[in-house]
Amino acid sequence: MIMRYFKITAAIALAGVAALAAAGQANAAPGSATASTAAVAEIHNGLNVALLDGKITLQLPQEFVDQTPKDKAPQDTGVAVQLFANRRHSQVVGISTVRTVNGDANDTGESAFNKMAQGALSGLKTQFKDVKKTGQTTVMAGDHKFLRIDSEQEMKDNAMIGTLLITPYHDRVITVQVLSPAAADKEHNALVKSILNTVSFH
């Protein structure tokens, strides 16, 4: 499971780089708000996201747009990736579901989560510079235990902060990756909190 998880973490990070580049171009437009000067506004969820044919759902703020590639052919068998970008705040949310071998999923013990954390950090280091883990905790959301990993990294000379939310679900591992400019720490934490508050398992 670790090698496969490493692979999808790297894939999401790479997709995030492309989406953040597009979001950064939008932020550079005259009159647009920047992460360092924009006030932290109340989050208004308006985008419903469904995973595994609706078995898992969550909500994102209405400013996010779906940038998931329409061509699913490049995605590995057993792997699905969704990508969403907030052009106003240069934020990206990547969501993956990865099929695991028998016996790997549904293990939320400390040892399993530590192995997931190691694989996640290894994946991030293949895509970003100066990756530093700033936190590792477990949180409950939707009656499921999530591993939360917070990090700092550099992308194209820009300081970024990131959060990974990881949980096993049946024969899959679900990963939500949130990326934001370092100056937008309040917006970042508000977004992560909103995701955790709206995730549901059906």
Domain boundaries, the chain: 2-201
Residue ranges of the chain with per-residue pLDDT less than 50: 22, 25-41
Residue 201 to residue 39: CA distance in whole angstroms: 32
Write down the pTM of the prediction.
0.82
pLDDT given at position 101: 65
Residue 143 to residue 161: CA distance in whole angstroms: 26
CATH class of 2-201: alpha beta
Residue 147 to residue 2: CA distance in whole angstroms: 14
pLDDT given at position 89: 81
